[in-house]
């Protein structure tokens, strides 16, 4: 709902900034956010979030992948 309202208000850059900030969350929270975006029918946002998350150390990326796998 937040994404829809930000886009409707012309605040696309704020949504992009929010995704960037979410990409710095701990791996389990990042995976949960990506899963929530996918479940909400926002696959492009999910993909963007995951791409931004790859700037992490390899061990954290592995933790996020495991969390995503466990979440299905």
In 3D, which of 65, 15, 60 has the Cα closest to residue 37?
15
Give the pLDDT confidence score for residue 9 in this predicted structure. Answer: 95
- Average pLDDT (37-63) is 89
Nearest to residue 64, comparing CAs of 15, 21, 25, 17? 25
Looking at residue 17, its pLDDT comes to 93
Q: Has residue 69 got a pLDDT over 90?
A: no
64 against 40, higher pLDDT:
40
- Backbone region of residue 30 per phi and psi (left: phi > 0; alpha: psi in -120 to 50; beta: other values): alpha
pLDDT value at residue 66: 87
- Compute the distance between CA of residue 29 and CA of residue 35 in angstroms, rounded to an integer: 10
Report how far apart the first and last C-alpha atoms of the chain are (Å, whole number). 23
Place 46 in a pLDDT band, splitting at 50, 70 and 90: very high
């Amino acid at each position: 709902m937040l994404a829809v309202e930000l886009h409707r208000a012309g605040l696309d850059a704020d949504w992009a900034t929010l995704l960037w900030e979410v990409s710095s969350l701990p791996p389990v929270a990042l995976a949960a956010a990506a899963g929530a975006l996918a479940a909400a029918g926002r696959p492009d946002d999910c993909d963007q979030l995951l791409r931004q998350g790859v700037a992490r150390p390899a061990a954290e990326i592995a933790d996020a992948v495991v969390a995503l796998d466990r979440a299905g």
